[in-house]
Amino acid sequence: MTTTILQFGATGQLAREMLLRSSGGVTIKALSRADVDVTDTDAVARAIGEALDVDLVFNATAYAAVDKAESEPDLAYAVNARGPEAMAKACQARGVPMIHISTDMVFDGEKSGPYVETDATNPLHVYGASKLAGEQAVLEHCDRALVARVSWLFSAFGQNFLQMMLKLADTQPLLKIVDDQRARPTASGDVAGFMLSQAQRLSRLPAGAPEWGLLHLVNAGVATRFQMAQAIFELARPDQPLPTMAPSPPAPSPPRRGVR
């Protein structure tokens, strides 16, 4: 039996990994920004309400420019909170479950060890606050919703730290990278693979099942941005100088962002 996923997002790294890996009984109907602007809540509701044969809705959209969000809070909240809220309400009305992707940046990083799903949240900036608002809206308005918090996603697709380092390596002889944040770098392909492996089962689960709610979904291992950059250069640019440390960016970021 084929499970059909209506996916918001078609060009970002996670969206593309989902499309690349969809097979074995899972079909994805991906909606790009040109198809549906997630800041248009009426358009979001129509897309879900009018879609044919949908078993599951997957939200792969996000406003992820952490520093830029400080000067564009309205847009960050529109994409990260109000759009997902509209999806959740439409899913509840139609009776289909929803998967929403969030971030470990809903935490302040003050905990000495990895965060778990029951830990108190305390975002330090607009981006984290907007993502937390999205989480809360999804869980409030859809009783069959899974919110997966991820950390430092990277992929061969889209805009991410891995791709940024490879591009900068071609234009700058010596890079300076911050070393004040630690997290669990996570392959978008692994997140996509897990979601696809669970799609059919999740599409059939009733409200109240323990699988619904919050889930921390990350790869094993902890690194700083600086350590990650060094590893990228060692593997992909072994003939170039390794990056050095740099001051922190303007938006306050949690010093420890590891979730498990």
Contacts of 46 (CB under 8 A, 6+ apart): none
Strand partners of residue 57: 6, 98
Angle between helices 188-204 and 13-21 (to 10 degrees): 60
- Maximum Cα–Cα distance across the chain: 57
Relative to beta strand 223-224, strand 182-183 is antiparallel
Strand partners of residue 245: 177
Q: Which of 63, 77, 115, 127 is catalytic?
A: 127
Contact 107, 139 (CB under 8 A): no
Output DSSP code: residue 196: H
Contact 13, 157 (CB under 8 A): yes
Q: How far is CA 253 from CA 98, 126, 235, 248, in A?
A: 29, 11, 27, 9
Q: Let me know if 63 is a catalytic residue.
A: no
Pick from 100, 24, 56, 18: which is nearest to 205 by CA?
Answer: 56
Locate the DSSP E strands across 108-163. 145-150, 153-154
Active site amino acids: 127
